[in-house]
Structure 1
């Protein structure tokens, strides 16, 4: 019933949509035959470092983006986008040439100035309607964390996970400081709730409610960062994981297949990249700390929310440890070396 209402609202709203201007450029990646080629194409046409290109979405656009993501989660793909998205985005089906499986794709496509780069930096979202694992593989720093976008889409594909979420611009596409929240303008989606990336994450969170699922966010660290480890796993908090924790299970499964890897977790020393300021992690670990509640604002924040209200480092409740944050050095960003461990951790 909920899915039906979502589609009716989307289609009904779109009846009033004016057609896109004649001759407008569209970057649809229509020639991509596989998910890996598709994601590489999307990455190559997104705003790069210091490009100055990132347009913060309006509340109306974030509401519409979230509604589309929700409809896709419920199995929808053959519908027209709401008016606020029609001029710059598309939703369509995609069939991977390697495995023959169908997917649903939402992506930004508009390139009004014809420079080969999308105009806003909103990113993409992919759903496998016949998934076997309730995992959301997320890449918040494409280009900057080199290779993570291809690594994550391959793991998504070969583990038959539910969703793949990709940011739409280099984290430093526009100038700005590190700390963002609410209305702030920043292309670093891991630290800014007012983005399409976070809106999609909030929609996924609402879809599952308290049902078991995990958001796996793939990051990359520099070679001279945390030199005593190759991989560092956390939940977005600085508390040591407890027995039975998924990141301990993932670490053990990785070591079973990659025994030479040095894998750290909070409490093991050697690294402090605990992602305590990651807003997607904060939403899952402690929704109130980002001003978000289920059924709340579409962007994941409410007026009045501020960084000063966050409780960085506060251990999350055991049932809320659905956020898995992966930091890794360049030489371990090979999807094929992760797949067996992911399959074993989430059978």
Structure 2
């Protein structure tokens, strides 16, 4: 699909409402040509919007840790959005320096929270009120791992996931070292120095982590994917992990996902492996298994997600490393063409393992813990 055609569709069919406590703005243009389906229009609009989100790159951005008041307002806004109450969400969002964005295509709706006070710094959260899979997608490094942000959107549109979280600032935007202990330093030239506060995958003090914990509590049956990009690891192009260092049997979720994706034609492009299968150890570098990911540590019941690896797996977290062949067609919404692509086969394999179903709305006050066993 060319950029001009996609932009015409976006302008013709998008009904986007940016809601704040003070005002609302609505654009509803009449289509000139025969429309695509509502689902296709919604996907185009959402992916173009995701592709347009700003991301702060400059080193020295050190206003990333929210005040307690801002964090509380952000959480209140997100919980209201989970109850499908965008008006109440907008009131709390304004206090947090956020805005509510609504994509409305008849029966297809997406709700989002976007940072309006410091665009490009705070995370963006997208909620799917009509989700059919117990999935949440996270993209903690959307800048230098190109394509994972659009992939998170595809989890919402193609896999009908519950929600997606996309980090704002570049992982290396801050000059402040994190207190979190992890060997997964992604900043060039940083060597063995501590990761930086701006790294959403390895810090517990950011709004990204708060969004992750809020969604995980609201949907205690959900499986959370952390979508990552990697340089080719030996001849492996996809590495699944549950964020632990354990080996497990064929019933373990990463092993089942490995087998589901390997059953597609993607297996002809390279090895699909699992960190939980001892037979894959020679292919899956242990540094790509996500043991230092704080979202995974939280879900796996670590006593301190910032500093302590989890000793076991809850079955609710999937760390997904992907080579360039998988993400290549996801680097621009304008050039998105999934037909026959590696990304399409990856999504198909995941869908075969995690079935869709009718699901209730969120229950933000749920007392269920993050580590409910889903193995």
TM-score range, shorter chain: 0.7 to 0.9
**What's the counterpart of residue 299 of structure 1?**
none
Q: Supply the distance in 1 between the matched residues of 2:353 and 2:258 (Cα, whole angstroms).
A: 9
1:249: Cα distance to partner?
1.4
Q: Supply the distance in 1 between the matched residues of 2:66 and 2:211 (Cα, whole angstroms).
A: 13
Please say if 1:222 is aligned against 2:231. Answer: yes
1:49, 1:171 within 8 Å by CA — same for their partners in 2? Answer: no
Please say if 1:197 is aligned against 2:208. Answer: yes
1:167, 1:189 within 8 Å by CA — same for their partners in 2? Answer: yes
Q: Supply the distance in 2 between the matched residues of 1:280 and 1:30 (Cα, whole angstroms).
A: 38
Deviates more, 1:332-341 or 1:249-258: 332-341
- 1:271-310 to structure 2, matched below 5 A, reads 271-272=285-286, 273-290=288-305, 307=307, 310=308
Please say if 1:79 is aligned against 2:76. Answer: no
Q: Supply the distance in 2 between the matched residues of 1:73 and 1:55 (Cα, whole angstroms).
A: 24
CA spacing shift, 1:188–1:343, aligned 2, 3 Å: same
**What's the counterpart of residue 71 of structure 2?**
62
Query: Which residue among 93, 96, 101 is the counterpart of 1:92?
Result: 101
How high is the TM-score relative to the length of structure 1?
Answer: 0.74
**What's the counterpart of residue 354 of structure 2?**
346
**What's the counterpart of residue 116 of structure 2?**
109
Please say if 1:240 is aligned against 2:247. Answer: yes
CA spacing shift, 1:214–1:191, aligned 2, 3 Å: same
5+ long unaligned stretches in structure 1: 1-14, 21-27, 112-117, 291-305
Q: Supply the distance in 1 between the matched residues of 2:78 and 2:147 (Cα, whole angstroms).
A: 25
Q: Supply the distance in 2 between the matched residues of 1:84 and 1:245 (Cα, whole angstroms).
A: 39
Residue-by-residue CA offset, 1:142-192 (whole Å, 9 max, x unaligned): 1121111112212321111110111111111112446537xx971101111
- 1:90-169 to structure 2, matched below 5 A, reads 90-95=99-104, 101-110=108-117, 118=119, 121-169=121-169
Q: Supply the distance in 2 between the matched residues of 1:68 and 1:29 (Cα, whole angstroms).
A: 23
Q: Supply the distance in 2 between the matched residues of 1:325 and 1:134 (Cα, whole angstroms).
A: 16
1:56, 1:185 within 8 Å by CA — same for their partners in 2? Answer: no
Aligned residues: 286
1:110: Cα distance to partner?
3.1
Query: Which residue among 340, 344, 348 is the counterpart of 1:336?
Result: 344
Deviates more, 1:74-83 or 1:263-272: 74-83
1:215, 1:323 within 8 Å by CA — same for their partners in 2? Answer: yes
5+ long unaligned stretches in structure 2: 1-19, 30-41, 182-194, 330-342, 356-375
Please say if 1:324 is aligned against 2:297. Answer: no
How high is the TM-score relative to the length of structure 2?
Answer: 0.69
Superposed CA RMSD in Å reads: 3.0
